[in-house]
Structures are given as C-alpha cells and as structure tokens.
Homo-oligomer: A and B are copies of this chain.
Amino acid sequence: MTRLELARSLKVTDEMKEAGLLEGVPAEHIRDGIASGTVIIARSRLRRSIKPLAIGRGLKTKVNANIGSSEDRTDIGEELKKLHAAIAAGADAVMDLSTGGDLDEIRRRIIKESSVPIGTVPVYQAALGAKKKGKSFVELTPEEFFEAVERHADDGVDFITVHCGVTMSAVEKAEKDNRVMGIVSRGGALTAEWMRFNGRENPLYEDFPRLVKIAKKYDMVLSLGDGLRPGCLKDSTDGAQIEELSTLGTLARRAVREGVQVMIEGPGHVPMDQIEANVLLEKRLSSGAPFYVLGPLVTDIAPGWDHITSAIGGAIAAASGADFLCYVTPSEHLRLPDVTDVRTGVIASRIAAHAGDIVKKAPGAIERDIQMSRARKRLDWDGQIRLSIDPATAGAIRKSSPPADADVCTMCGSLCAIKISGPVRSKDA
C-alpha cells in the first residue's frame, strides 16, 4: 500500500508521527492531509534512511535547491559540494538537474549522500540519451520516456518532475497567445518539439496511468511540471499557462484517487499582483494539491540578483498558500550556479518561506521572531547571532566591526535606541 492508501484507511503510520513531530502538528493532520491530497511526504519507498519531509496545507513552507552538472560543467565533486552546501544552508529538498557527464553516476552519488529528499527531471536524461545514441530527441519513442522515469524511480528518487500538461492544445494556445518568450521550460520545449515532429500527443499525458503505476510502485511523488510556465512578466497568467494548470489539476485528482501523491509546479515570472491569483487557481483546480513554485520572479530585469526578485515573489506566494519554493540563485539566467550561489539562493528562499509562514501562521513561525526581538531588547548579541536564519553570516558581519562598547554596534554607538530607552524597560522583554 502507498502512504496515501494507508492514510485513506485512517492508519497513522510511524512515518506520519515522525513527520508530525518535525512539523509541530498532530500526526492526524499529516494523515488527513495525505488522504485528501493536500499534504505529501516526499520519500521514496527505497529511502527509509532520510527524514520524512511533509509538504502542504497547514505546514511550514519548504525550500528546494536545484543543483546538477551541465554540458559545459561536469564536475561531480562540485555538485556534491553544492548538495552539502544546500543542506547546510537549510534546504529541505534538492533537485538533481544534471545534464552533463555520467548522469546515472551523479544521480546515484547525490541520492547516496543526501539526507534530504531528492527530485529529478527524467526527460533531461531521455534527451541526452538520444544524443548519445546519435539520434535527435524528437526521434525518441514513448517507451524511452518511461524508461527514463523508471530508471530514476528505481534509483530511489523521492519526487520527479513530469511535464504531463504540455498537450497539443495547450502548446497551440501558447503559440496563438503570441507570447514574448514562448516556451522557456527545458522539459516543456523538448516535449513540444517532440509533439510537433511526431504529430502526436505528449506520451506523459496520453499514458498518465503508466506514470501513476511507476510512482505507486516506489511510493514516489509525481511533481506535475509546468512546461508552459511564463518566461517573463508579459507572458504571465495567459491562456496556455492556465490551460496547462487546469490539465495538471485534473491529473492530480486522478493520481490521488489512484493512491499516488502529487504536487503541482508553478511559475516562474509573475508580477506581484498576479501571484495570489495563481496560488488560488492552483488550489482550486487541483482540489488543494501542494503547490511548488519556481520563484516567482517579480521582475525580469535583475539578472545577477534573481535570488532577490524570487524572494519577493516566493514570500508573496507562500503567504498566499504556496507550499514549496524552488530557490533561484544570483546566477539564474547567466550561468550554472556555483557553491556560493547555492548557499545564497537557499538563504534567500528560506527568508521568503519564513516571511510567508508568519502570514500563514505556520506552527512556530512568529515565535522565532519574538525570541529574536527579545534577544535584541536584552542587547544579547550571542542570542541574536544564534537565533539568526544564518548565524555564520550574521556572526561574521558583527565580528568584522567591533564596537568600543560591546553592548551596542558600530551603527549607533551611544545613540543606540535600546540603550537610551533601557534594555529591560519593556515588561515583555
């Protein structure tokens, strides 16, 4: 039985208990969420050694870090460094999006070394496999799509992205919508090209039951990818995007009925005032499946700083009900991220998640801010550093500029407002 089937039979498993403890909610909340498809636990049947990560309604917003080699950069050691940097910075999950070097070896090493759930996008491997065999991606058989999925599942991947909503009708709409950027998802672009060349429907849509079957076998999460997500603000929330979302919502409900956990992936590039509507639509069209958003980036003009554009969008998304944020690093749109980019991206995304959790009233969220504020009011610097989202950075900055009076900092000196007002005046502090 899958955990969804167990939940539906009202069973509270040890895994649900453990996930509940980690989240600060009753195990029954986890169970009922899984049963209704509003909560998932991203852990393959093959990966009992990692902690069960619950994602969804009523829980803390989670953060994913994308790592992985590219054709231009194939250093497996570097990718493992990124994995450990992401986990150390507090990433809840990591996706291996490798597209260069020995993909099987990299994926297996990453799974082996990771203490957090691992996601992948099997279609990349299918595409690169075709290249290796000397043929074009568009010449792949539907069978080869599913073989890649099966291979990843069999390695113990905890969640896979499958672009099932890139249908002929939705692609046609993307073309008619006269988008500025067209299709910007790699998986989406590959799938659309395959369909165009072969004149037939997306195999992952047509034979969705086969995906469900594989996922069921491994109790793996299907992450329904948004291959038609907008690639710029101008293309946001257009007909093609919403048609795809609607398809994914239908497929999500079907998977849940079959006992398979799903989440839905979302944009991308979205103006601030459209983010809440995107979250609302996703929840409505999927009957509340967890929403996994990439950013969203609230402006297109900040390459080099897209960890910030996406922290803005991610915070609004989380506050509006998104459950899982995919980080974006400063190198987005410019190059493969390095280890420092990974760390920066994770922290920025964790800030967004936490800011959203305060609004969501996620268990324990605001309490942490109150603790920090009390440490500030006590002029307790060790406490402030310890309670920081990134103690290493906060500590290093403080240390870099020692004040004459250790009670204060070099910004205000004797004009420190807390010192002037008296550090313990407030009864609460």
A interface list, Cβ under 8 A from B: 70-73, 99-100, 124, 127-128, 131, 175, 178-186, 188-190, 192-193, 231-235, 271-273, 298-305, 307-309, 311-312, 315-316, 319, 330-337, 347-348, 351-352, 354-356, 358-359, 366, 368-370, 372-374, 376-377, 384-385, 387-390, 393-394, 396-398, 400-401, 403-404, 409-418, 420-422, 425-429
Q: How far is the CB of A177 from chain B (nearest CB, A)?
A: 9
Q: Which of A72, A311, A330 has the most CB of B within 10 A?
A: A72
Which of chain B's residues has its CB closest to A374's CB?
Answer: B180
Tell me the bound Cα distance from A9 to B409 in angstroms. 49
Known: A315-B298, A415-B99. Contact between A180 and B401, CB under 8 A?
A: no
Q: Are A373 and B300 in contact (CB under 8 A)?
A: yes
Q: How far is the CB of A132 from chain B (nearest CB, A)?
A: 12
**Residues from chain B with Cβ under 8 Å of A414 in the complex:** 71, 131
Q: Are A358 and B420 in contact (CB under 8 A)?
A: no
**Residues from chain B with Cβ under 8 Å of A332 in the complex:** 411
Q: Are A355 and B393 in contact (CB under 8 A)?
A: no
Which of chain B's residues has its CB closest to A187's CB?
Answer: B417
Q: Are B232 and A369 in contact (CB under 8 A)?
A: yes
5 CB contacts below 8 A, A to B, read: A99-B412, A180-B426, A182-B377, A272-B315, A299-B369
Q: Which of A181, A190, A400, A417 has the most CB of B within 10 A?
A: A417
Q: Are B312 and A373 in contact (CB under 8 A)?
A: no
Q: Are B417 and A301 in contact (CB under 8 A)?
A: no
Tell me the bound Cα distance from A301 to B190 in angstroms. 42
Among B182, B234, B305, which residue has its beta carbon within 8 angstroms of that of A348?
Answer: B305
**Residues from chain B with Cβ under 8 Å of A369 in the complex:** 232-234, 299-301
**Residues from chain B with Cβ under 8 Å of A182 in the complex:** 377, 418, 421-422, 425-426, 429
**Residues from chain B with Cβ under 8 Å of A425 in the complex:** 175, 182
Known: A271-B358, A316-B272, A410-B335. Contact between A387 and B301, CB under 8 A?
A: yes
Lowest 9 CB-CB distances: which A-B pairs, in order?
A232-B373, A71-B413, A335-B401, A304-B393, A189-B417, A304-B394, A72-B410, A189-B420, A298-B355
Q: How far is the CB of A41 from chain B (nearest CB, A)?
A: 27
Among B127, B319, B427, which residue has its beta carbon within 8 angstroms of that of A178?
Answer: B427
Q: Are B370 and A180 in contact (CB under 8 A)?
A: yes
Q: Are A333 and B418 in contact (CB under 8 A)?
A: no
Q: A302-B351, A307-B308 are in contact. List 9 more A-B contacts (CB 8 A).
A: A70-B412, A70-B413, A185-B417, A231-B376, A271-B358, A299-B351, A299-B369, A304-B390, A304-B393
Which of chain B's residues has its CB closest to A184's CB?
Answer: B417
**Residues from chain B with Cβ under 8 Å of A311 in the complex:** 308, 311-312
**Residues from chain B with Cβ under 8 Å of A359 in the complex:** 271-273
**Residues from chain B with Cβ under 8 Å of A273 in the complex:** 319, 359
Q: Are B304 and A336 in contact (CB under 8 A)?
A: no
Tell me the bound Cα distance from A214 to B414 in angstroms. 29
Tell me the bound Cα distance from A348 to B410 in angstroms. 22
**Residues from chain B with Cβ under 8 Å of A234 in the complex:** 366, 369-370, 373
Tell me the bound Cα distance from A358 to B317 in angstroms. 17
Q: How far is the CB of A250 from chain B (nearest CB, A)?
A: 25
